[in-house]
């Protein structure tokens, strides 16, 4: 597909700077062969839905050969397609079909760890002198015979497993069947160069890099400071938060890996999108300085409560910390977290709040993403205990239930008698086909928001400022000639005079300055007069303001 000329100038405009992204959790998106599991054929079949929504790029979760212990995030072969999902020919068909619709494809690469069934690790298990032993991180037991240090897994429990045959432990920041790869080994760097080129030469447009904050580890394998007593029976979050993760993640060598990849992908004009799961904006700035990863996700929005203070804080911090705000990836939902309409209160109230929050995200500098079904206002799906599939105790199945496409069997996701997860308790009004037929549906509201994001020149402006003097429950900002205002409080907020740097607009007397409502969370958008100039509780609007003096 046509693309901008690649450049090494980090300040230049790139194709992703004006894009809207969409995450496809492949197992749950659309089943094309009737086995109850989503696949590449199903995704090809549903590309017109994504085209109608208006998204520019699609990030696809892992589709590689895998034993599926963590549903593809345990890769056994980085340069092939799992038969459950299709084959390389179908992958090529997907890329071509997406490009025909102006949609770019971003593949999920998993470089922090592989499957224990990857040929590298199978060879490494044959002994300390194996050719691929140093592709992974091994260490002798501590003095008491236990793990080499106190590192814990993101999924809970120690991050080390003993290989009885050799007497050494291997590291795994996730499941024991996901051994961590040793990125201090030059052979690993060369091997992944080949992996990236393999997919780039097939026409993909970039990579979403799993666990981007943790590839490099402290070479001395020092224990992390313990900041609260570690309880091995606590939740995975409680166990992780018991330590100051000084040596297992965010090592200074990490960005060097991405600088190398940056140079590799430049001739392809491809995107490096980091899963940069950090807790502080300054950490994100260190991990995404601008000469490595092109964009780093800021995940804090997926855990906040519904309040103006919480929303204001989660948006302001990273914008202030980053050297260029276009380095930010904005997400309210993903395949790992409770869906925002449920987090924000459930029902139509939660759906409305989710759309309000998305409105704020979509006006900001950076790359906004939707997670599949977010455009339908989907609540968390219900999965009974006996049908849960997630390998970790704090199940993520509720946000992964199959996408509802149309009324009928399995809501159009699959023709199978049993799908890999149940439908989640959806009804016909949740389906894409029903919502696309209703002009005031959640789908059309999100479609209108995407359209404003992509077509308004002001939303590409580097001129950005917060508007602070309105009301404690109101979050507002100006970007170019665009004003975004959200009322997160319980009372209506009358729009009056707003100071916009050297100019102002009085919404109560619109004759003093021209202003056009481009989008409101209460309608499908479009050009609407400002009448009445009042923001209802839990609502947001986007205006274009005449830049000329009154």
Residue 139, phi then psi, degrees to nearest 5: -155, 150
Positive/negative CA dihedral, 86, 88, 91, 97: negative
- What residue has token string 């394998």? 221
Exactly one of 275, 374, 380, 430 is catalytic; name it: 275
- DSSP for 226-272, written as a single string: BSS---TTS-HHHHHTTB--SSSS--TTHHHHHHHHHHHHGGGT-EE
Burial class (CB in 10 A: 0-12, 13-18, 19+), 256: middle
Query: Is 183 in a helix, a strand, or coil?
Result: coil
Judge whether 266 counts as a catalytic residue.
no
Please say whether the beta carbons of 465 and 444 come within 8 A. Answer: no
| Segment holding 44, helix H or strand E | helix 40-45
- Of 316, 349, 318, 351, the closest CA to residue 333 belongs to 351
Other CB atoms within 10 A of residue 208 CB: 26
Q: What angle do CA 383, 81, 396 make, to 5 degrees?
A: 20
Judge whether 210 counts as a catalytic residue.
yes
- Of 115, 255, 248, 111, the closest CA to residue 175 belongs to 115
Query: Is 200 in a helix, a strand, or coil?
Result: helix
> Rounded CA gap, 191 and 183, in Å?
11
Please say whether the beta carbons of 521 and 541 come within 8 A. Answer: yes
Query: Is 336 in a helix, a strand, or coil?
Result: coil
Length of the chain: 550
Give how far Cα 290 sits from Cα of 206, 210, 211, 462, 510, Å: 16, 18, 18, 16, 41
Encode 113-132 in three state secondary structure.
ECCCCCHHHHHHCCCCCCCC
> Rounded CA gap, 254 and 292, in Å?
10
Give how far Cα 110 sits from Cα of 74, 106, 251, 265, 270, Å: 8, 13, 18, 17, 17
| Segment holding 352, helix H or strand E | helix 347-363
Exactly one of 180, 205, 210, 337 is catalytic; name it: 210
Burial class (CB in 10 A: 0-12, 13-18, 19+), 316: middle
> Rounded CA gap, 266 and 44, in Å?
27
> Rounded CA gap, 482 and 549, in Å?
15
> Rounded CA gap, 277 and 297, in Å?
7
Other CB atoms within 10 A of residue 48 CB: 11
Residues taking part in catalysis: 210, 275
């Amino acid at each position: 597909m046509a693309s901008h000329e690649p450049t090494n100038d980090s300040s230049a405009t790139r194709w992703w700077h004006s894009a809207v992204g969409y995450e496809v959790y492949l197992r749950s998106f659309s089943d094309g062969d009737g086995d109850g599991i989503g696949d590449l054929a199903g995704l090809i079949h549903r590309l017109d839905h994504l085209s109608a929504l208006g998204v520019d790029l699609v990030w696809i979760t892992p589709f590689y050969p895998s034993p599926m212990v963590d549903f593809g995030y345990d890769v056994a072969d980085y340069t092939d397609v799992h038969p459950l999902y299709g084959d390389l020919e179908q992958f090529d068909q997907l890329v071509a079909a997406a490009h025909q619709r102006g949609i770019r494809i971003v593949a999920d690469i998993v470089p922090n760890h592989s499957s224990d069934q990857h040929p590298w690790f199978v060879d490494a298990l044959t002994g300390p002198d194996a050719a691929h032993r140093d592709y992974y991180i091994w260490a002798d037991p501590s003095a008491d015979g236990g793990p080499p240090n106190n590192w814990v897994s993101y999924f809970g429990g120690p991050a080390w497993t003993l290989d009885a045959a050799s007497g050494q432990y291997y590291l795994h920041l996730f499941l024991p069947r996901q051994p961590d790869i040793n990125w201090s080994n030059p052979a690993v760097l060369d091997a992944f160069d080949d992996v990236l080129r393999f997919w780039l030469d097939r026409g993909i447009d970039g990579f979403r890099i799993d666990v981007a904050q943790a590839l490099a580890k402290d070479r001395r394998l020092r224990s992390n400071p313990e900041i609260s007593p570690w309880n091995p029976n606590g939740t995975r979050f409680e166990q992780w938060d018991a330590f100051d993760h000084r040596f297992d993640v965010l090592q200074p060598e990490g960005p060097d890996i991405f600088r190398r990849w940056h140079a590799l992908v430049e001739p392809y004009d491809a995107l490096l999108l980091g899963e940069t799961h950090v807790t502080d904006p300054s950490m994100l700035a260190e991990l995404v300085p601008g000469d490595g990863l092109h964009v780093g996700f800021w995940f804090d929005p997926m855990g906040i409560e519904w309040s103006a203070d919480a929303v204001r804080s989660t948006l302001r911090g990273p914008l202030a910390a980053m050297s260029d705000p276009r380095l930010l990836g904005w997400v309210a939902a993903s395949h790992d977290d409770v869906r925002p309409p449920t987090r924000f209160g459930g029902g139509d109230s939660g759906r409305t709040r989710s759309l309000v929050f998305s409105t704020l995200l979509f006006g900001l500098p950076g790359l906004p993403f939707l997670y599949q079904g977010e455009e339908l206002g989907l609540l968390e799906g219900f999965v009974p205990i006996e049908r849960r599939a997630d390998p970790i105790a704090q199940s993520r199945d509720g946000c992964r239930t199959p996408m509802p496409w149309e009324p009928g069997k399995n809501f159009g996701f699959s023709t199978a008698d049993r799908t890999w997860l149940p439908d989640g308790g959806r009804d016909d009004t949740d389906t894409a086909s029903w919502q696309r037929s209703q002009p005031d549906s959640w789908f059309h509201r999100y479609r209108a928001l995407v359209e404003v994001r992509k077509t308004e020149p002001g939303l590409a402006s580097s001129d950005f400022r917060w508007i602070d003097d309105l009301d404690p429950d109101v979050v507002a900002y100006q970007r170019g000639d665009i004003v975004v205002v959200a009322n997160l409080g319980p009372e209506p907020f009358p729009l009056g005079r707003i100071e916009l740097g050297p100019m102002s607009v009085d919404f109560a007397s619109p004759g003093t300055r021209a202003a056009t409502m481009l989008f409101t969370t209460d309608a499908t958008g479009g050009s609407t007069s400002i009448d009445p100039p009042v923001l209802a509780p839990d609502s947001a609007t986007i205006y274009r303001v005449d830049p000329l003096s009154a």
